[in-house]
Amino acid sequence: MSTDDHGIEEDYRHEQAYHNSLSVIPRPPEGMTPRFFKGMDCPDSTTCDVVYIDRLTGREALRYDGADPANTRFDYGATPDADIFKNKGLDLKEMIDPAKAVISLDDCRRAMRQDYTDYGDWE
């Protein structure tokens, strides 16, 4: 790898980190939980669907192909998840009372065939 390649790769990492920070769900206040659950369904090594479930309705709020560079790489025109939500009139960082959720985080994880959460280990 040339020095130029290293510089481009480093720039890409910084840009990716910046855009990812826009979509990070903050630690919720006491008694609250994130409204949207982000799950990743990976049926094989080349496909990965990123799916957000709205816990107030139990419906899908957003889905995109995580294997497509146009969805995940900003040098290919990807948009941060927070911006996609904003364009739909939704707030990715909205918190809700868990008692008002029609679908639990555990139900979301099962639906996404995942055994972990993208929100960290503080739950």
Burial 39-68 (b: 16+ CB within 10 A, else e): beeeeeeeebbbbbbbbeeeeebbebebee
Q: Any idea of the CA torsion for 18, 23, 28, 32, to the nearest 10 degrees?
A: 170
Give me the chain's average pLDDT, please: 79
- Would residue 72 count as lying in a domain? yes
- Would residue 66 count as lying in a domain? yes
pTM of the model: 0.72
- Would residue 120 count as lying in a domain? no
- Would residue 67 count as lying in a domain? yes
Domain count along the chain: 1
Q: 36: which strand partners?
A: 54
- Would residue 76 count as lying in a domain? yes
- Would residue 89 count as lying in a domain? yes
pLDDT digits (tens, 9 = 90+) for 44-100: 666 788 889 999 999 999 999 888 888 888 888 888 899 999 999 999 999 999 999
Q: Which domain holds residue 18?
A: 3-111
- Would residue 121 count as lying in a domain? no
Instruction: Tell me how far the alpha carbon of residue 21 is from its chain's centroid.
Output: 11
Q: What single-letter DSSP state applies at residue 26?
A: P
